[in-house]
Structure 1
């Protein structure tokens, strides 16, 4: 008999009733150190006072009016994002999946309005994850994502991750854009080297293509810059954002240059809930923290400390771990043991990590975790590794 909640998740046997900072508490009082942050969502940790205040204050005044009217909180958040990024304009969504849908539409509408309606193809890369909508799974193209869901949305060309030679060969008169995550999350914490991001920007410029960056998981301070592409010194034409921007409240956005967004005129796209007062009030509070240079500097300091300790962990347990990879506080431990076994053993040590492809476990802690949290995290990882070895 099917359960009342559609059984599309293989859930861990855990239920949490309270969160504070980097910690989650179960109903029976167990405290788990959260290195998952709801899959990179709780950027400022659980129950951050500034976010609680922003949400409760706004909730006492106005929750929803729809985008038939001007929304001051939406304007304020858009202004902050434009001020701190490459973007000239922002459209707010409720999720990264919705952001992907608009990014695809925006790129194709751009060329349609330029009198080149044949330019609809978007080049993507293996290991990518762009959400689970029809466009998102077609963009990723993997059998795991697409099996049983045909016919797939056409217009995507899939290339091997890192294959710049193949990329140049794949560009034709029907190519519109290149879409890529600066750091693959679901794909196993695989960063795109700065030189390759620079090359992608150059290729797009040379061929008149749009560069779409998916920073849903790697953005909003996660890598130690406000957005990961900043490390390479480039800018995209369109960028997808979600997860951390709401700090736990469902919120996403598409950021774009004026040129890339030129086709999206009145009536071409919409969202009932996107950019509602509640979400944007929280988003403003998040931005006030993560856009602060001092905050980002501390993220980088803590990221260096955590990575140093993780390198020692790998050295101490070569039978369990192979390497550390990633950037900032978006780190992965490539496993020799089965990654799901490591995640499960972590639960027994009251530690939360997140599995990913390529036999990796993801470490996506709150950007606000303390040095003491880092020490405790590595201690629990040591216990977890020893337990996996003994098994």
Structure 2
């Protein structure tokens, strides 16, 4: 995975740039733990390059499930260039053709490909946490219109919904929440492993206090846990009976990642949400997100209830229209599942070789987790040394969320490296 040896002149320039970057690290706030031997300079589909250190990597992370159509997608680059010459920003004081067209496309494609059957309206914003903030506000507004006390929210253990204060309030992991003191009140965390009747009874008993329930159909940061279909059906049923808005966070698991356009498209329509959120892959790296609602939710909203300066800017919308058109094709989604089968088959074989170290291989589509007995930090480091980028989820799971356009031979090569890394660390 290492490229040809640099010339003496190039090597001197590289050393100079490396020294400059090491100094520039001191200008960034202390919020990330990054490897100090890697600086990404460019990418191509499912590969990333560090030209400073003269290294090439197979990328099984896709920017944390963002670059679904690959790094440096040529059509995305073309669209960005062309749209930037027309209009980048005009604010939400006015309509733009791009935002109107994208909103219509999201609703039409959602219904066409088995998603929320009563999807009706779209709020465009800039990031996943903003999309979830909007979803929570919309659910609370709906509850308050029924009863001023109906403001509470239900979330789940292992959940992750974002870092801003509202989304953080419904994120389970205490290490993200507790350093920031008081968050929004009236949030209850339930255990998805509990019996459905236990979950339903809680919602029934608290119905006069609950405005919304938020859940990831496939929990991502918590460890790659697909939520059983019967749980989602039962939760929607009890929420619908008690005017509790159901929110599906599809920021990581949506947009083709599970082999369907939306993860909830695997479910019957009686389990479809009132609100769902999308981001990450929606812009293939350009910051854009969406909160999709039905008419029941929209009827609770008034002008001024929410807003955003950059949300739905023409540049992001132009890219997202292309992303939606590309992902929303049966043959494309079938290829996602075929590639997912390559991953799961090989990872299961590796698990059989190392049953005392790998507990489980699970997921849906190209959102796969290999759970280890112990936190796999050394494994991630060894894989990186060998030329493969993987990331973790939860306490001890290695996460595989590559570009949906990853080539078969790159999958094979990357899994060869992963197996070699496992051998090196655990043999």
1:179 paired with 2:214, answer yes
Which of 144, 165, 178 is the matching residue for 2:175?
Answer: 144
Structure 2: distance between partners of 1:371 and 1:120: 48
1:274 and 1:185, CA in 2 relative to 1: closer, same or farther beyond 3 A? same
In 2, Cα distance between the equivalents of 1:71 and 1:156? 37
The corresponding residue for 2:40 is 16
Question: How many equivalent pairs are there?
Answer: 389
> Residue in 2 aligned with 1:371?
408
Partner SS, residue 239 of structure 2: helix
Within-5 A mapping of 1:1-391: 3-13=26-36, 14-27=38-51, 28-85=53-110, 86=116, 87-113=119-145, 115-163=146-194, 164-171=196-203, 172=206, 173-233=208-268, 234-390=271-427
Query: What are the ranges of 5 or more consecutive residues in structure 1 without an aligned counterpart?
Result: none
Once superposed, which parts of structure 1, at least 4 consecutive aligned residues long, lie more than 6 Å away? none
**Contact residue 35 and residue 363 of structure 1 kept, 8 A:** yes
> Given the two structures, how large is their TM-score scaled by the length of structure 1?
0.96
For normalisation by structure 2, the TM-score amounts to: 0.88
Distance 2:257 2:91 in 1: 31
Does the 8 Å CA contact 1:188/1:360 hold for their aligned counterparts? yes
1:175 deviation in Å? 1.1
Per the TM alignment, residue 90 of structure 1 is displaced from its structure 2 partner at its CA by: 0.3
| Kept after mapping to 2: 8 A contact 1:331/1:364 | yes
Within 1, Cα distance between the matches of 2:179 and 2:161? 18
Cα distance, 1:161 vs structure 2: 2.3
User: In 2, Cα distance between the equivalents of 1:338 and 1:160?
Assistant: 22
- Which structure has the greater CA radius of gyration? 2
1:127, 1:186 within 8 Å by CA — same for their partners in 2?
A: yes
- Say whether the 8 Å CA contact 1:63–1:277 is kept in structure 2: yes
Work out whether residues 57 and 389 of structure 2, in 8 Å CA contact, stay in contact via their aligned partners in 1.
yes
- List runs of 5+ in structure 2 lacking aligned partners: 1-22, 111-115
Give how far 1:318 is off.
2.4
Q: CA deviation at 1:368?
A: 0.4
Deviations 1:199-227 (A, max 9, x none): 11212222222110000010000000001
Answer whether contact 2:200 2:234 (CA < 8 A) is retained: no
Paired with 2:178 and 2:55, the residues of 1 have a C-alpha distance of 39
| Contact preservation (8 Å) 1:320, 1:385 | no
Shift of 1:293: 1.1
Q: Distance in 2 between matches of 1:333 and 1:299?
A: 18
Normalized per residue, the structure richer in helix is 2
3-state SS of paired residue (2:198): helix
Check conservation: 2:143, 2:243, Cα contact below 8 A: no
Deviation per residue, 1:324-374 (Å, 9 max, x gap): 111000000101243211111111111111111131011000000111111
| Cα deviations by residue, 1:132-166 (Å, 9 ceiling, x for unpaired) | 11111211243211122111210211111232233
Cα separation, 1, equivalents of 2:315 and 2:328: 20
